[in-house]
Amino acid sequence: MVARGIEVGPGGEGKWREKLALVRSAKDRGIKADCVPVKSSDGVYIIYTSGTTGLPKGVLREAGGHAVGLNLSIKYLFGIHGPGDVIFCASDIGWVVGHSYILYAPLLAGAATVLFEGKPIATPDAGTFWRILEEYKVNILSTAPTALRAIRRDDPENKFFKEVGSRNGLRHLRALFLAGERSEPSIVTMYQKLLEQYTAPGAQVIDNWWSSESGSPISGIALSAPVGRDHQLKAHNKPLLIKPGSAGKPMPGFDVRTVDDEGNEVKRGQMGNIVMGIPLAPTGLTTLFGDEERFYKGYMKRFNGKWIDTGDAGMIDEDGYVHIMSRSDDIINVAAHRFSIGKSPLLTPLPPLPSLLPFLPQIFPHQRYFKPTPRQGSIEQAISSHPSIAECAVVGIPDALKGHLPFAFVTLSTPAHPRSATPPPL
């Protein structure tokens, strides 16, 4: 984040230091700055998210809608109502999750927030999260499934969790929220059993789904649903049934549907494109910074302005629970980080390599041969830029720790393969 009016670029750091010195000087002289009123439509921040083509997209968040939506969601979904409540969002503050629920939402609610820098393992061990929960009497923990996979790998018997839990150090914990990637049922089930034994009565593992564009969870299971009727209520009702593998039900303001490639709604339980009706909830984006045309092309053009395209594929079951199954574009999710692999590139004809000529017509008698023109910023583009690589295709493969890993199939630019399977210095 950069303060308004401070130059970025050559010499910018020096001007930044000058501004800091000015602030310190004003503080020493007892000068205070009043809050400045802004319009509800003014931008509060810009956060960049992966683009399926080209450069990352700058999601512009409006101040008024974001404040309203976060003030509701932290109470309605997370059950954090104000002083006395503590939330620990174990996210990078540069991500939208960190922005929303480390910084803005807890401050709006008047609750305490835990800001943690570091890994859940090797700091010094896999018990770091659980000791933080104990020390700060945390009520809500929000993290990514990858963090729990890493903990499970280093502590497969959950000794650290049980050690803290056995001394009643986790009795304040009311829920464990998972976001950033699909939570496999085995993780949800394992931690649900631990919560039932060591944490607050009725504690739940709750998967929730959202994006940089939404600004707050699109779906989940609410801990304090009565807040939707009366914003002053502080009741912690019994949540709805948890379905491992599902991301819960749509949150207030988000009209979630499943449609086919023509934009027609499909039946409950049938796979399709996950879309949202317009307008979005107050936290949702209204444009991309400096690029209204790309906003339309990226989110609305595919379904002619009727739906917002999330880029996700999945289904809504008979009970209204949302199941996010995969990306419908060329993004793979590695430890809650989204990477463009460059699928479905533009194609230009390329004769087959001489060493393959005798075999290709037999295997693919009607196949033309193409050389991919990788999309800007994709993994395929980076690999194809190596002089020893003629063409490549990258796919996501399952990984027990990170969810997915990129795996590259490459064809070398010469029939004579080197001894190593990977040409240096790739």
pLDDT at position 360 is: 34
* Residue 416 burial (C-beta neighbours within 10 Å; 0-12, 13-18, 19+): exposed
pLDDT at position 116 is: 93
Which CATH fold would you assign to the domain 37-329?
Rossmann fold (3.40.50)
pLDDT at position 409 is: 87
Residue with more model confidence, 117 or 13 = 117
11-52 pLDDT tens trace: 444 566 777 788 888 888 888 888 889 999 999 999 998 755
**C-alpha closest to that of 205 among 165, 173, 180:** 173
* List of residues 6+ apart from 258 with CB closer than 8 A: 265, 266, 270, 271, 272, 273, 274, 275, 314, 315, 316
Residue with more model confidence, 274 or 382 = 274
pLDDT at position 364 is: 35
pLDDT at position 346 is: 28
* 411 SS3 class: strand
Instruction: Report residue 98 as tokens.
Output: 């960190």
Percent of the chain past pLDDT 90, that is, above it, reads: 52
* Class of the CATH-defined domain 377-425: alpha beta
* List of residues 6+ apart from 279 with CB closer than 8 A: none
- pLDDT higher than threshold 90 for residue 100: yes
Residue with more model confidence, 380 or 396 = 396
pLDDT at position 23 is: 80
Banded model confidence at residue 352, pLDDT cuts 50, 70, 90: very low
Residue with more model confidence, 171 or 52 = 171
Where are the domains positioned within the chain?
37-329, 377-425
Residue with more model confidence, 385 or 99 = 99
54-63, 169-178, 308-317: segment of lowest average pLDDT = 54-63
239-278 pLDDT tens trace: 789 998 899 999 999 999 999 999 999 999 998 999 999 9
pLDDT at position 335 is: 74
DSSP secondary structure letter of residue 213: T
CA torsion angle 189 192 198 202 (round to 10): -150
- pTM to 2 decimal places: 0.74
pLDDT at position 376 is: 32
47-56, 197-206, 269-278, 299-308: segment of lowest average pLDDT = 47-56
- pLDDT higher than threshold 50 for residue 354: no
Mean pLDDT, rounded, of the chain: 82
pLDDT at position 200 is: 97
pLDDT, average across residues 295-317: 93
pLDDT, average across residues 332-355: 47
What whole-number distance in Å separates Cα of residue 147 and Cα of residue 402?
A: 9
- Asked whether the CA dihedral 221, 224, 225, 228 is positive or negative, the reply is negative
103: left (phi over 0), alpha (psi -120 to 50) or beta: alpha
Instruction: Report residue 143 as tokens.
Output: 């993290």
Residue with more model confidence, 152 or 238 = 152
